[in-house]
């Protein structure tokens, strides 16, 4: 595991810090949340934004009935739990590289791990709906062809090797399955981008986030044999809301409000990337 990832997701539980909240660790999708300047945002808004980012990805994954879903970089497993609750009959595997995150995930999702009936979804006589495994995006400890969908929410910015991630995704998808990944990437492959982002944002300077161009993922998906590869910018629904939420604690120009600056300068954007495995 890379040192910056080990430290960031170690003893401190980011999912319970006020900037994240609700057991999620992502910037959120703020479409439909009232961002007018005179209306203070609430913790409920913040949690909704993070749930909605998951819902966007799960919609894009076009899940079949009773889907088998792998989430790569699942953090505290809150998005895995949402998937089980909102997709009837779903069986979800949450994978994360960090053992501390998985310890927290197993504690937070203990009910689902025991296979107890869900409110409004009392179906679980069969396989348990949720499990967690430790593994890296680049080397998944999972069999071939086991998943209808591979999803990932705000984790790919940490993956050192998107070629290996795409190859492993193609391997573990069943024929006809779909990948749906959302995260932030540079808008192009200009050689100055890593230095520009390191100058603006601590997490790029310290190596936690990697300045991958979005084409690194789309090209890797194509090279792995996936088809209908698409990257869609969703930044307009991510960055302004995230920045508004951050303004509670940070002044303009300070870390991490430079995420919005990087977006406005055309360096960084937030994307949804989908690709299919031939049936």
Ligand X SMILES: C[S@@+](CC[C@H](N)C(=O)[O-])C[C@H]1O[C@@H](n2cnc3c(N)ncnc32)[C@H](O)[C@@H]1O
Neighbours of 254 (CB within 10 A): 10
Of residues 15-34, those binding ligand X (CB under 6 A) = 24-26
CA nearest neighbour of 19 among 236, 235, 245, 244: 245
Q: Report whether 117 contacts 166 (CB < 8 A).
A: no
Residue 75 in contact with ligand X, rule: CB under 6 A: yes
Give 124 or 181: the residue with its C-beta nearer to ligand X: 181
Q: Report whether 279 contacts 239 (CB < 8 A).
A: no
What is the contact mask toward ligand X in residues 91 to 130, using x (rule: CB under 6 A)? Answer: -----xxx--x-----------------------------
What is the contact mask toward ligand X in residues 127 to 166, using x (rule: CB under 6 A)? Answer: ---------xx---------------xxx--xx-------
Q: Report whether 66 contacts 125 (CB < 8 A).
A: no
Number of residues engaging ligand X in binding (CB under 6 A): 22
Q: How far apart are CB 275 and ligand X at their closest, in Å?
A: 18
- Rounded to whole angstroms, the Cα distance separating 95 from 116 reads 21
Residue 72 in contact with ligand X, rule: CB under 6 A: yes
* DSSP-derived 3-state class of residue 149: strand
Give 20 or 263: the residue with its C-beta nearer to ligand X: 20
- Rounded to whole angstroms, the Cα distance separating 2 from 161 reads 12
Binding site for ligand X (CB under 6 A): 5, 9, 24-26, 72-75, 78-79, 96-98, 101, 136-137, 153-155, 158-159
């Amino acid at each position: 595991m890379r040192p910056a990832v080990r430290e960031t997701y170690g003893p401190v539980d980011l999912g319970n810090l006020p900037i994240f909240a609700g057991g999620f660790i992502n910037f959120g999708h703020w479409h439909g949340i009232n961002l007018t300047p005179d209306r203070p945002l609430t913790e409920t808004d913040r949690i909704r934004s993070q749930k909605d980012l998951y819902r966007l990805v799960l919609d894009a994954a076009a899940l079949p009935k009773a889907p088998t879903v792998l989430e790569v970089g699942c953090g505290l497993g809150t998005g895995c739990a949402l998937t089980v609750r909102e997709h009837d009959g779903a069986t979800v595997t949450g994978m994360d590289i960090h053992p501390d995150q998985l310890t927290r995930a197993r504690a937070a999702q203990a009910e689902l791990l025991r296979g107890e009936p869900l409110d409004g979804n009392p179906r679980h006589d069969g396989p348990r709906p949720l499990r967690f495994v430790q593994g890296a995006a680049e080397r998944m400890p999972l069999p071939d062809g086991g998943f209808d969908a591979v999803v990932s929410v705000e984790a790919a910015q940490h993956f050192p090797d998107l070629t290996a991630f795409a190859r492993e995704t193609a391997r573990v998808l069943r024929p006809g399955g779909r990948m749906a990944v959302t995260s932030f990437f540079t808008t192009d492959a200009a050689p100055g981008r890593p230095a520009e982002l390191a100058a603006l944002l601590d997490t790029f300077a310290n190596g936690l986030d990697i300045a991958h161009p979005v084409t690194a993922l789309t090209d890797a998906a194509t090279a792995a044999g996936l088809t209908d590869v698409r990257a869609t910018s969703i930044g307009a629904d991510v960055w302004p809301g995230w920045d508004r939420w951050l303004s509670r604690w940070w002044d303009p120009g300070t870390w991490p409000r430079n995420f919005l600056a990087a977006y406005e300068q055309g360096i960084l954007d937030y994307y949804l990337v989908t690709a299919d495995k031939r049936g």
